[in-house]
């Protein structure tokens, strides 16, 4: 018991929770806006990989860290555009198209990485983002190291949560996004373009997802590995349902998830001798399934999710 308390009381644990949550925040926010507009984006897993690889590669080629972030976002936007074109004007199955985009983005990223770096025994490293030192806040006892010694991408993720919530609930654009995910003909009959809105949202949402991948190679680690995304994208899709498509709840869900993960890693060092490591590694996936089960009964899916819209059809 005292070990558990000790873990919960260490600033280090809370810092790790926020760090683990960061890519998930990007992913859930990206998935959330796409689904709010009525498009399920299962390309997320591949978009994470593409963002991780493209961002890292750009930095490695000398674009600078923020240049890398931009390149990652553009890569995400590119794959998002493919998914958007296939599912919005062409109205193809969002499930299959998403899986296709994931396979495409993943294999393309691997291929480019392998082709650019054919024979390296250990992956080359880059100079990753350093934790920000915010005068005043970072030096606070406990709270400082727990919350304010994060890299800039974590703060960007937190900012995106607030920005997304504001746009979604307070601006004409956000209302249009909510409407197009509920009843596209409401949008079209008011003179707005259903396709334009949906394509735009999927492209931007995918760019945000890709930042989650970029965080992996530019903040969490300093190199790109095959299989490093490891299902994080799928976890984000589950968390989106768990968050009832609300940015605030999405942040909460990602943080809970991060805290749980950080906790089990620390618990593992305590009791790892008795329980195989794989049991701990399974936890995030099982937890995601559990989260889906918990909310399943009351999940209030956007009404037009998965439903293609063809003009003049009501």
Residues 115-134 that bind other proteins (CB under 8 A): 115, 118
Tell me which of 63, 74, 81, 92 binds other proteins, using CB under 8 A. 92
Q: In 10 A of CB 255, how many CB atoms?
A: 18
Part of the chain binding other proteins (CB under 8 A), chosen from 10-18, 58-66, 215-223, 285-293: 285-293
Question: For residues 221 and 231, what is the distance between their CA atoms, to the nearest angstrom?
Answer: 17
Judged by CB, which is closer to other proteins: 9, or 120? Answer: 120
Q: To 10 degrees, the CA torsion angle through 32, 37, 38, 39?
A: -60
Part of the chain binding other proteins (CB under 8 A), chosen from 21-29, 127-135, 154-162, 190-198: 190-198
Part of the chain binding other proteins (CB under 8 A), chosen from 3-11, 47-55, 260-268, 287-295: 287-295
Q: Do 232 and 24 form a contact (C-beta atoms < 8 A)?
A: yes
Judged by CB, which is closer to other proteins: 18, or 210? Answer: 210
Segment 242-261, which members bind other proteins (CB under 8 A)?
none
Tell me which of 8, 64, 114, 163 binds other proteins, using CB under 8 A. 114
Judged by CB, which is closer to other proteins: 71, or 146? Answer: 71
DSSP line for 172-193: HHHHHHHHHHH-HHHHHTTT--
219 touching other proteins, by CB under 8 A: no
What's the length of the chain?
A: 314
Tell me which of 130, 171, 248, 270 binds other proteins, using CB under 8 A. 171
139 Cβ contact partners less than 8 Å away, ≥ 6 residues apart: none
Per-residue DSSP letter, 130: P
202 touching other proteins, by CB under 8 A: no
Segment 1-60, which members bind other proteins (CB under 8 A)?
42
Residue 214: which of 20, 47, 34, 14 has the closest Cα?
A: 47
Part of the chain binding other proteins (CB under 8 A), chosen from 55-63, 141-149, 255-263, 290-298: 290-298
- The b/e string for 272-294 (b: 16+ C-beta within 10 A; e otherwise) is eeeeeeeebeebbeebbeebeee
84 touching other proteins, by CB under 8 A: no
């Amino acid at each position: 018991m005292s070990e558990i308390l000790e873990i919960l009381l260490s600033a280090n644990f809370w810092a790790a929770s926020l760090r683990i949550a960061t890519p998930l925040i990007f992913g859930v926010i990206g998935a959330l806006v796409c689904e709010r507009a009525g498009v399920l984006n299962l390309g997320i897993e591949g978009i994470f990989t593409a963002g991780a690889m493209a961002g890292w590669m750009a930095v490695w080629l000398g674009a600078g860290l923020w240049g890398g972030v931009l390149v990652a976002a553009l890569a995400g936007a590119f794959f998002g555009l493919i998914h958007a074109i296939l599912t919005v004007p062409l109205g193809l199955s969002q499930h299959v198209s998403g899986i296709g985009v994931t396979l495409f983005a993943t294999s393309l990223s691997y291929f480019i990485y392998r082709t650019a770096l054919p024979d390296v025994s250990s992956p080359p490293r880059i100079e990753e983002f350093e934790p920000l030192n915010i005068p005043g806040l970072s030096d606070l006892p406990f709270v400082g190291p727990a919350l304010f010694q994060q890299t800039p991408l974590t703060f960007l993720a937190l900012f995106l949560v607030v920005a997304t919530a504001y746009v979604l609930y307070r601006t004409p654009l956000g209302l249009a996004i909510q409407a197009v995910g509920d009843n596209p003909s409401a949008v079209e009959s008011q003179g707005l373009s259903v396709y334009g809105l949906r394509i735009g949202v999927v492209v931007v949402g995918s760019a945000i997802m890709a930042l989650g991948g970029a965080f992996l190679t530019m903040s969490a680690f300093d190199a790109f590995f095959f299989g490093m995304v490891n299902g994080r994208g799928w976890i984000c899709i589950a968390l989106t349902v768990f968050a009832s498509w609300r940015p605030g709840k999405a942040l909460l869900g990602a943080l809970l998830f991060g805290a749980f993960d950080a906790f089990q890693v620390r618990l593992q060092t305590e009791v790892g001798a008795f329980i195989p490591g794989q049991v701990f590694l399974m936890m995030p996936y099982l937890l995601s399934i559990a989260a889906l089960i918990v909310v399943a009964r009351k999940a209030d899916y956007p009404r037009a999710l998965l439903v293609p819209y063809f003009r003049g059809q009501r």
